[in-house]
Amino acid sequence: MAQKKLTKSAQAIRDEIVGKVARHFGKTIEDATPKMIYTACALTARDQIMGKWALSHKIVKEEGSKKLYYLSFEFLMGRLLSTNILNLMQTADYTNALQALGYSISDIVELENDAGLGNGGLGRLAACFIDSLTTLDLPAYGCTIRYEYGLFKQKIVDGYQTELPDPWLEDGNAWEIARPEETVEVKFGGQVYTDWYDGRFSFRYENSHTILAMPYDVPLVGYDSKIVNKLRLWSAKSPDVMNMQEFNSGNYVRAVEERQLAEVISKVLYPEDNHTEGKELRLKQQYFLVSATLQWILKEFESRYGYEWSRIPEKAVIHINDTHPALAIPEMMRILLDEKGLTWDEAWDITTKVFAYTNHTVMSEALEKWPVDLFRKVLPRIAMIVEEINRRLMIYLEEVYPNDPLKHKYMAVLADEKVYMANLCLCGCFAVNGVSKLHTQILTDDIFADYCRLTPDHYHAITNGITFRRWIGNCNPKLAALITEKIGKKWLKDSEQLRNLIPLAEDEGFQQQFAQIKRENKLALVEYIKEHNGIDVNPDSIFDVQAKRLHEYKRQLLNILHIIAEYNKLLENPNLNYYPKTYIFAAKAAPGYLRAKLIIKLINSVAEKINNDARVNDKIKVVFLENYGVSIAEKLVVAADISEQISTAGKEASGTGNMKFMLNGAITIGTLDGANVEMLEQVGADNIYIFGLKADEVDARSRYNNSDEVKDIYSTNHALRKALDQLIDGTFSDGNSQLFRDLYQTLVYGDYGNPDSYMVLRDFEDYCKTQETLSLLYADRKTWVKKAIMNTACAGFFSSDRTIGEYNEKIWKLKPIQA
């Protein structure tokens, strides 16, 4: 291929890459491996970011800016090279420089391991937020654990999910900078003694066990921004290289064992999502992150403002991303009381002005509660502080809600020997928010209602968002370029400008270009599926995608039961006029969530049967893509025609995948749940397909046993009944009638006598009808494409820049840096 003449800036980048390969690896370009080229690219981008960083640091310091510390156990960053290059606005230069060296940028960026430090929505949201914060020039630090192993890799073996470790740091991490000089000590266990000293109580810890927390910083650039922020990742280290006493007495294994035990704290991310189990190691992780982070925050503060502790809320705001980092509240109290010598009232006054909390789920099994005994053993001083917070809370509650012991118990931080983390946040934070309008309404009217009545102005609804730089700019470059060609380039930073596309929805030329890009993206996915699953997929079939964690409330079961019914229908009517359809699933299940894993097996078994049945082969295909994560999401959202957002209404706090599909022109089939409600508001009822029970209808049904209603549906809806019966007649399990019996059982009879708790049967008929409407619509290509364009055009509201703007206005009150 003839090479383009390089621009000056592309030449400079090419020379930088060549230089890095030489200096870092001692190789010429000809001898370098592609992985070396990747690392060299990352290092050149990092150099530029570092240059900006020093400057930005100076400005933040000079301006004395208030800073946000966003504490989260998960930051699902994905790959960084291409988004960093995009944010530096150098995509074209890197593309051309690499091409001149004989490489394609898309191959090179694929060599980076995903930073998979998260389970799902909550972790990816944190990553989108940090991009928007930086893009908006707001000073912020993300704080998390440097897990040596991210979320497990999923491998499908014989249709079953198996889990493999994710050693993402194995080849090194070009983006991080170790900061050993900022290491702090975190103490666990031991005993607490009180002394009367200098006219006041003081607390002494004895026999506690020290673990070192060493930070690694990843600098972050925003899109066309002035500031460089950072993600701080804490890694656990043992203070002792090895125990020399053991070593000298010949116990070589024991000598290093202790060290390993210490370091296990930052070894692996817990793979549970929407479920908590109360494991000691998890509690240690929680305290490790918050203690290290708070020590750092207060040290920074002290070095600038001395002992003026009451000014902390002026200079820092600390965000607690779900309850997992809630121990930051008692830890702040501990440091202010025991180390800085403040009184309880002084310390509490500061603490309750610094912390803000976001709730991300209403699923009761996800609400954290810890046995207080475990607290007393692992965190004895924190246990004392929590007890005191609770004692004072009870006095206050008796004043505001007199003679109501049940309510007091429900609102307690400590009750029945358990620590209730959400209540700790509600009584210790100055702001609380839900992640969509509907979700916030459920919080304020229902599960947090009694707290909300006390300080209603603390409660906010802030609908989630996604960063458009990654979720269209980077993953759908052709569509991004087409949009820029039509409405100018400002939309990547000013997302409401996408509305300027609305008139183009009627423009035939634009429709064709839009449809052509979707087709090209589908072709790329077809190739990926062929390579990874060995399945031939028709690019002209409807791509119907459900990609998200596997959970009963997300109802992959509803989707697969409908597919089974479609399959049956086609077998019964071979001449049916049927628009070809490809159903694509991608989902990880928590390793201990057996029913979710069984649903994965069912999807794979149904896929196996249908894909190998010549009678329906040109009509339906079912694909399960293994190892879903950020990078696979990037391939799926751009290629989908239909986006499945079919959770039981009231259960999905917001969803953010829904927004990614919408932005890239997929049409949603969904319930009135989470942010779907607001998608409907934005795009209008003509352009989104809503079905099923509403949240209040679901709620009403959850309050009484409705076996009769379920029985009635089972006996009257024949297609559904047949699909259900096929779960236990061996159709999809080589004659084994037991394999999927648990799924049948929970739907038809229920776990505790309450059948169909996620309303799969109740919503089935409406779902099928809506699917049929969509298939008919797809055949009318023009109308479909028009609606698809409308989805992209109306997605502007879902930019995380808007979300961050709202957080800042309502809660954080940070000032964008000026200079």
H helical segments located in 443-573: 449-454, 468, 477-487, 508-533, 556-572
113-121, 523-531, 703-711, 764-772 -> range binding ligand 26W (CB under 6 A): 113-121
Q: Is 654 in the site for ligand 26W (CB under 6 A)?
A: yes
From 14, 67, 360, 581, the catalytic residue: 360
Site for ligand 26W in 398-437 (CB under 6 A): 435
CA atoms of 35 and 294, how far apart (whole Å):
37
Q: In what order do the strands lie in the sheet with 620-625?
A: 620-625, 581-586, 542-547, 642-645, 667-670, 689-690
Coil, helix or strand for 240?
coil
Note whether 559 binds ligand 26W by CB under 6 A. Answer: no
By CB under 6 A, tell whether 397 contacts ligand 26W. no
In angstroms, the CA 553 to CA 462 distance is 22
- Which pair of structure tokens corresponds to residue 614? 């010549």
Q: Which is nearer to ligand 26W, 360 or 621 (CB)?
A: 360
Let me know: does 165 contact 114? Beta carbons within 8 Å: no
SS3 582: strand
- Using rule CB under 6 A, residue 442 touches ligand 26W: no
- Indicate if 351 belongs to the active site: no
Binding span for ligand 26W by CB under 6 A among 608-616, 649-657, 677-685, 767-775:
649-657
The one among 40, 41, 42, 122 contacting ligand 26W by CB under 6 A: 122
Q: Exposed, middle or buried: residue 803 (CB in 10 Å: 0-12, 13-18, 19+)? A: buried
Q: How far is the CB of 669 from ligand 26W (least distance, A)?
A: 17
Report whether 729 contacts 737 (CB < 8 A): yes
Q: Mark the segment that binds ligand 26W (CB under 6 A) among 283-291, 624-632, 650-658, 769-777.
A: 650-658
Q: What's the rounded Cα separation, in Å, for the pair 125 and 118? A: 10
Distance CA 73, CA 321 (A): 8
Contact call for residue 464 and ligand 26W (CB under 6 A): yes
Q: Which is nearer to ligand 26W, 609 or 651 (CB)?
A: 651
The yes-or-no answer on residue 522 being catalytic is no
Residues 254-313 that bind ligand 26W (CB under 6 A): 272-276
Residue closer to ligand 26W (CB basis): 100 or 447? 447
Q: Does residue number 131 form part of the binding site for ligand 26W (CB under 6 A)?
A: no
Q: How far is the CB of 410 from ligand 26W (least distance, A)?
A: 20
Query: Cβ(147)–Cβ(266) under 8 Å?
Result: yes
Closer Cβ to ligand 26W, 265 or 480, answer by number? 265
Q: Does 546 bind ligand 26W (CB under 6 A)?
A: no
Site string for ligand 26W, 722-761 (x = CB under 6 A): ----------------------------------------
Span near ligand 26W by CB under 6 A; candidates 116-124, 181-189, 239-247, 629-637: 116-124
Return d(Cα 795, Cα 499) in angstroms, integer: 8
Per-residue DSSP letters for 36-96? HHHHHHHHHHHHHHHHHHHHHHHHHHHHT--EEEEE-S-EEEE--HHHHHHHTT-HHHHHH
660 classed as catalytic:
yes
Number of H helices, E strands in the chain: 33, 25
Number of residues counted as binding ligand 26W (CB under 6 A)? 24
CA 499 – CA 70 distance, rounded (Å): 31
120 binds ligand 26W (CB under 6 A): yes
> Residues with Cβ < 8 Å from 200, sequence gap 6 or more?
341
Residue 619 tokens, joined: 């009509």
Selected from 36, 60, 96, 121, the binder of ligand 26W by CB under 6 A is: 121
Q: In the bound complex, which residue of the shown chain has the CB atom lying closest to ligand 26W?
A: 121
Token pair for 257: 């064992």
Smallest distance from ligand 26W to CB 366, Å: 4
CA-angle at 44, arms to 42 and 49, nearest 5°: 90
Separation CA 600–CA 158 (nearest Å): 11
Q: Residue 604 is encoded by which pair of tokens?
A: 């794979």
Instruction: State the CB neighbour count (10 A cutoff) for residue 709.
Output: 15
Residue 150 engages ligand 26W in binding (rule: CB under 6 A): no
- Asked if 366 touches ligand 26W (CB under 6 A), the answer is yes
With CB under 6 A as the contact rule, the residue among 46, 232, 284, 360 that binds ligand 26W is: 360
- Contact positions with ligand 26W (CB under 6 A) in 306-345: 322, 324
656 given a catalytic annotation: yes
The reply on whether position 476 binds ligand 26W by CB under 6 A is no
- Residue 438 binding ligand 26W, by CB under 6 A: no
- Widest CA span in the chain: 92
Residue 653 CB, shortest distance to ligand 26W, in Å, is 4
Among 215, 219, 380, 655, binds ligand 26W (CB under 6 A): 655
Q: Which residue, 368 or 644, has its beta carbon nearer to ligand 26W?
A: 368
Is 361 a binder of ligand 26W (CB under 6 A)? yes
Using left for φ > 0, alpha for ψ between -120 and 50, and beta otherwise, residue 105 falls in alpha
Residue 275 or 437 having the CB closest to ligand 26W: 275
Which C-beta is closer to ligand 26W: that of 44 or that of 72? 72
Closest of 756, 764, 555, 547 to residue 646, by C-alpha = 555
Between 144 and 464, whose beta carbon lies closer to ligand 26W?
464
Q: In the bound complex, what is the minimum distance in angstroms from residue 139's beta carbon to ligand 26W?
A: 23
Q: How far is the CB of 464 from ligand 26W (least distance, A)?
A: 5
Tokens representing residue 594 in the block: 């057996």
**E strands along 496-649, which residues?**
542-547, 581-586, 620-625, 642-645
Catalytic residue among 548, 551, 562, 581: 548
Of 513 and 654, which has the nearer Cβ to ligand 26W? 654
**Considering only 389-397, 630-638, 653-661, 769-777, which stretch makes contact with ligand 26W by CB under 6 A?**
653-661
Residue with tokens 């399960």: 624
Task: Report the nearest approach of ligand 26W to the CB of residue 361 (Å).
Answer: 4
Query: Which residues of the chain form contacts with ligand 26W (CB under 6 A)?
Result: 119-122, 125, 272-276, 322, 324, 360-361, 366, 368, 435, 464, 652-656, 674
- Catalytically active residues, by annotation: 360, 548-549, 554, 656, 660
